[in-house]
Structure 1
């Protein structure tokens, strides 16, 4: 006769993992990874598409160049762009997203010199001082738009979607993106003499990261 303890332990024993559960778990891990080398066979992709359409699209975006380019082109259509802006504004107002953005921006500013330079140049151009005083750059001129514009950067050879671009004076139809321009000290320094230059124009190592709190 089985003891009460034996019966109880058998009754409450958790069911073993099935092969299907293992497969779905593996699919989820791969799909949520941004690793460009992630591989899924056709059968697994179909299963993922049925089980988690969002994860399927995420996997396709990170691993299928044609899908990614088509998706970016779709998102940048004016009508879709306006819908996304409305959705983003709503989402950005949530406490969780605001907290995430604060932490992300603080970490970016603290750890990434190239990011600090890009942000500093962007903020400087929002100020009217440079246009009021007639600042110019030898090889480029800033092109600032109220909304993002899709262009190709000749420096990083990437298609980017930005509000600030730098048009090449010799070839006005070619552009350098603001992050690349900000981090090329040979071209970012403006022409002429100025009473006061922001740090971004006086040293390739500025602005410095914030000092650690004691």
Structure 2
């Protein structure tokens, strides 16, 4: 994790030009990530982060703007890692659509139920209650991205007469609904198994019904 955090770019604030500054920024990211997961966003102050990481609040203001900027930087990183391999672009010449749709659900599911991801996901949802702009930002950069990628795959299939899908964005919402109850379980802290034959069978069944509903008459 240290390596990946170190490679993050914060374009809205100063990026440290020196190795020492780079290490200071990394220490703040790691400390804030740990404290936020341990206590929750609201319970952690800038003083807590500085005390844990060392240094001063000046570095936070310089590299992240404020506490919200620091939290967003962590969210940007975790979101990029979370969604990196979940939903790659569909390649019509290489991918089988059914297998592609099932694989994406399985990838989403495994990332979703990982303990640290689940804890961070719950914290984000809690924070969005009092930060509507942040909520919109997270949605646009996360779930909306997956919906758009799936919609594009369905649109291509429709244009090639593989499926009947005149409203691909609507259909992509239906697709994401397949995993919604697992997201809710995660939010409520209900333990679900990472490896589950029942979940895999559910995904396969759901995708088959989803594709049945998009067959060309």
TM over 0.5: no
The structure number with the bigger radius of gyration is: 1
Answer 1 or 2: higher relative contact order, Cα 8 Å, separation at least 6. 2
TM-score (norm 2): 0.29
Higher strand share: 1
Higher helix share: 2
TM-score (norm 1): 0.29
